[in-house]
Amino acid sequence: MKLSEEIVEKIKKIQQEENAIKAERGTLEFEKDRLAEIEKELKNLFGKNRERLKDLLEEIEAKYGKGSIDPQTWEFVPAEQE
């Protein structure tokens, strides 16, 4: 017995929706992988930037001694000696 056209159309519609969902899920997985790579690269860049800052602070300390930098005036403020 052949299925009615109405049933066949409902089945086709469900299959099409399922295929669209699968395609969207595949796109989502691809984007998740891409975002993970971007996150990894940003963490790497952040680490490198922190290392550059650490090196610069060591350079400043070697040149000026222990102290701090006033971010408003960019002046070096020597640490109080005990």
Q: Where are the domains of the chain?
A: 5-78
pLDDT of the residue at 82: 66
First-to-last alpha carbon distance for the chain, in angstroms, is: 99
Asked if residues 79 and 65 have their Cβ atoms less than 8 Å apart, the reply is: yes
pLDDT digits (tens, 9 = 90+) for 36-82: 999 999 999 999 999 999 999 999 999 999 999 999 999 999 998 76
pLDDT attached to residue 81: 76
Q: What letters, b where the CB count within 10 A reaches 16 and e where it falls short, cover 20-47? A: eeeeeeeeeeeeeeeeeeeeeeeeeeee
